[in-house]
Amino acid sequence: MSAATQETAVRTGAVTRVFIYGLLIVFALFYLMPLFVMLANSLKPLSEITGGNMMALPQAWTIEPWQKAWSSAQIGVEPTGLRPYFLNSILMVVPAVAISTIFGALNGYVLTKWRFRGDSILFGLLLFSCFIPFQIVLIPMAMILGKLGLAGSVPGLVMVHVVYGIGFTTLYYRNYYAAFPTELVRAAMIDGAGFFRIFWRIMLPVSGPITVVSVIWQFTNIWNDFLFGVSFGGQSQPMTAALNNLVQSSTGVKEYNVHFAGAILAALPTLLVYIVAGRYFVRGLMAGSVKG
């Protein structure tokens, strides 16, 4: 594949190159525009925004909106800033991602290497959960959380996201492990390794790429989820719900600079995850499609 792209790269002339790069740069700038607006406006006093040009760079640079959004802005009735909700989100997202990824890996391992009667039907049913819209399950989920005594708590949100995430993580790991040679598992069986030892010593060490995919996917989805957070969060609402409360508040002056700063704060963790693990993400999605 790479050889083919190199060949075409050699053949295109200078004019074509300039055209291609020019177009790409235009699109990149267009795509970066909102980020620029958010950053620029989060660093200027409110008077500069209300006074006129949203597109201009700040005249008086300030980080005060960031501080305010983080620690003292009015969220609902409390002037707490986003900080406690950020913590809520972290407390929710870390266990939810970890648990759903571990279950997905175990499911994928069983569905490919310890096959049993009806396993493909079970896999099909698990896949269903990828296609069920959130809204449909709100009421039954609320009933179950209530019965379990987990309503309005972080563990409740963790459970909701684990249940919802297992479908995706299972799909990832099953397809990844399907390409994993079964002979290795058989060799390990003859060598005397049991179910969990094979998983731990043979399968997991080579699951790096797909684990990155699973973690990024789950982290982004769970962090960005609003509906479950606002419905089941109760007193421990996540960042997304708090941001909504910050931006949508109907009393007082609309502090756009604080809103911009808050929105960036809410998006930062996912951005970070992408930057750190992003290059494995593409590799992981490609894994198995080409011999490597």
Partner 1 sequence: MGFLDIQNVTKSYGNVEVLHRVDISVDEGEFLVLVGPSGCGKSTLLNMIAGLEGISSGDIAIKGRVVNGVHPSKRNIAMVFQSYALYPNMSVGQNMTFGLEMHGVPKPERDKALAEVAKLLQIDHLLDRKPGQLSGGQRQRVAMGRALVRDPDVFLFDEPLSNLDAKLRVDMRTEIKKLHEKLQTTIVYVTHDQIEAMTLSTRIAVMNKGFVQQLGTPKQIYDTPANVFVATFMGSPAMNVVPARVRVVDGVPHAAVTDHDGQEQLLAFSQANLAQWDGREILLGIRPETITDPDGADRKSRNVVALRNMIGVTEPAGSDTFVTMTLGGRDAVARMRADVTVRAGTRFDFAVNMEKAVAFDPKTEERIEP
Q: How far apart are the C-alpha atoms of 263 and 67, rounded to whole Å?
A: 13
> Around Cβ 277, how many Cβ atoms within 10 Å?
16
Taking the least distance from each CB to partner 1, the nearer of 187 and 286 is 187
Quick check: 288 binds partner 1 (CB under 8 A)? no
Nearer to partner 1, 185 or 261 (CB): 185
The whole-angstrom separation of Cα 232 and Cα 155 is 10
Beta bridge partners of 287: 290
Q: Which of 40, 202, 239, 242 binds partner 1 (CB under 8 A)?
A: 202
Nearest CB to partner 1, comparing residues 140 and 292: 292
Helix (H, G, I), strand (E, B) or coil at 53: coil
CB of 279 to partner 1, least distance (A): 21
Q: Fill in the amino acid letter for 100.
A: S
Question: Does 183 help bind partner 1 (rule: CB under 8 A)?
Answer: yes
Asked whether 187 and 152 are in contact (CB, 8 A), the reply is no
Q: Are 275 and 86 within 8 A, CB to CB?
A: no
Using CB under 8 A as the binding rule, whether residue 181 contacts partner 1 is answered as yes
Q: Which is nearer to partner 1, 133 or 192 (CB)?
A: 192
Least Å from the CB of residue 116 to partner 1: 13
**Distance separating alpha carbons of residues 203 and 182, to the nearest angstrom:** 11
Q: If binding is defined by CB under 8 A, does position 98 make contact with partner 1? A: no
Measured from the CB atom, the residue of 82 and 105 that comes closer to partner 1 is: 105
Q: Please answer whether residues 189 and 99 qualify as being in contact, where contact means their C-beta atoms are separated by less than 8 angstroms.
A: no
- Applying CB under 8 A, the span of 26-34, 193-201, 212-220, 266-274 interacting with partner 1 comes to 193-201
Instruction: Give CA separation, 89 vs 56, 161, 228, 272, 292, in Å.
Output: 33, 12, 12, 15, 37
Question: Any contact of residue 191 with partner 1 (CB under 8 A)?
Answer: yes
Rg (CA), the chain: 24
Choosing from 197, 278, 282, 286, the residue that interacts with partner 1 (CB under 8 A) is: 197
Q: Which amino acid is at 63?
A: I
- Token pair in block for residue 146: 């209530």
Of the two residues 140 and 192, which places its CB atom closer to partner 1 in the complex? 192
**Residue of 17, 115, 186, 279 that binds partner 1 (CB under 8 A):** 186
Helices (H), 57-179: 64-67, 83-113, 119-131, 134-148, 154-178
**Residue 206 in contact with partner 1, rule: CB under 8 A:** yes
Among 91, 127, 184, 267, binds partner 1 (CB under 8 A): 184
Of 31-39, 147-155, 199-207, 248-256, which segment contacts partner 1 by CB under 8 A? 199-207
* Calpha distance 78→76 (Å, rounded): 6
Q: Does 189 bind partner 1 (CB under 8 A)?
A: yes
Among 16-24, 108-116, 161-169, 182-190, which window interacts with partner 1 (CB under 8 A)?
182-190
Binding site for partner 1 (CB under 8 A): 181, 183-184, 186-193, 197, 201-202, 205-206
